[in-house]
Amino acid sequence: MYDTKRQWKAWLYLLPMLVLLAVFTIWPIINTVRMSMLEKYQALAAAGGKTFEVSFYNFKDVLSYNKFLTCLKNTMILCVVTVPVSSILALLIAVFLNSIRPLKRVLQTIFFLPYVTNSIAIGMVFAAMFNIVGSFHGTPNQIIETAGIINNMLGVFGIEPINWINPGSTYGANITVLVIYIVWNALPFKILILLGGLQGINKQYYDAAKVDGTPRKRIFTRITVPLLSPMIAYVVITGFIGGFKEYTSIVGIFGEDMGPAGASKRLNTMVGFIYDALENGRQGRASAAALILFAIILVVTLINLYVSKKRVHY
């Protein structure tokens, strides 16, 4: 055992950090729980002396709220589609980058670029690329001019311009653009992590496999993937956590309306819902939504950890 004197010293050194933690992490969490349990809690009214009943009203309210269910659905779709797609793509690209010699550095830099650029700015660039200018609902004789490079490129292959994000666009088209954007934005970090993992694998495993005449596909599935599994698990778990917090990408492409004109909030997410509630002074609702989001992330992460415990070789 350490003597009390030394323990005191240790606590003293920890104090600044503990104070910061208490003020900026622990108290907000407690306060969130408190606010979520107070019926129709509003901070302004509370400041004015109003008291609130303790109940689960906020949770029931949020869960039966159509707008919230839309947000939940959007978030779920984006997570379930983008995380596997971006993880698999990142894995393939990392393996490819790791296996080439010439242009390796250049390609690594190119793949890393999205990571160091502002995501709102990139979102606006994406919006421009998928944009349509001119009348879309013209008669067949009218020429449709598109300013978006994507539609121009599709035109080369004889594909009719698609209304991706403009007024009148479909939900499916919107989600497609979002998925492409989020996957592309998530790639650099994942590639970086997986490439680091790949470079840490002893080359002799591959030599051994080669001497034993292992086909390339089998080397990938039986050697590369298992030896990389800790990194893959990390990338997937952080991917899901990031996915549930998705917000900026939608703002970047669709603006703060979270949807094309005439269908605003159609693409809103859970985080967006919380922001909206706060903006309207509904702290009780926002807190309840935040706790629900927390619970979902917790459950998904636990499932991830449970699966990886069985599959991941450390």
Partner 1 sequence: MKVELQNVTRIFPSRNKREKNDVVAVNNFTFEIPDGKLIGLLGPSGCGKSTTLYMISGLQRPTSGRIFFGEDDVTDLAPENRGVGLVFQNYALYPHMTVKQNILFPLQNLKGEDKMTKEDMLERAYNVARLVQIDELMERKPSELSGGQQQRVAIARALVKMPRVLLLDEPLSNLDARLRLQTREEIRRIQRETQITTVFVTHDQEEAMSISDTIVVMKLGVIQQIGKPQDVYDNPTNLFVAKFLGTPPINIFKGYVRNEMLYIGDDPIMSVPGIQLPEKKVKVEQQDNQENISTEHNTANGQAVDSQTAEYKTVEDGVKGHPVYIGIRPEGFIVDEQNGPLHCHLNNVEVMGRDMTVVSSNSDSESGIIRSIINSDSGLDRQAETVRYSLKPHKVFIFDLDTEERILFEVK
Long-range Cβ pairs for the range 18-23 (8 Å, 24+): none
What's the token pair of residue 196?
A: 């680091």
CB of 314 to partner 1, least distance (A): 9
104 binds partner 1 (CB under 8 A): no
Q: How many chain residues touch partner 1 (CB under 8 A)? A: 18
Query: In this complex, which beta carbon is closest to partner 1, that of residue 115 or of residue 220?
Result: 220
CB of 190 to partner 1, least distance (A): 21
CB of 23 to partner 1, least distance (A): 45
Query: In this complex, which beta carbon is closest to partner 1, that of residue 4 or of residue 202?
Result: 202
4 binds partner 1 (CB under 8 A): no
85 in helix, strand or coil?
helix
Per-residue H/E/C for 162-218: CCCCCCCCCHHHHHHHHHHHHHHHHHHHHHHHHHHHHHCCCHHHHHHHHHCCCCHHH
- Other CB atoms within a 10 A radius of the CB of residue 112 amount to 15
227 binds partner 1 (CB under 8 A): yes
CB of 92 to partner 1, least distance (A): 21
60 binds partner 1 (CB under 8 A): no
226 binds partner 1 (CB under 8 A): yes
Interacting residue with partner 1 among 137, 211, 217, 279 (CB under 8 A): 211
168 binds partner 1 (CB under 8 A): no
Is 182 in contact with 78 (CB distance < 8 Å)?
yes
Structure letter (DSSP) for residue 303: H
d(C-alpha 201, C-alpha 227), whole Å: 7
CB of 69 to partner 1, least distance (A): 42
Cross-strand partners of 38: 54
Give the footprint of partner 1 on this chain (CB under 8 A). Answer: 202, 204-205, 207-208, 210-215, 218, 222-223, 226-227, 229, 313
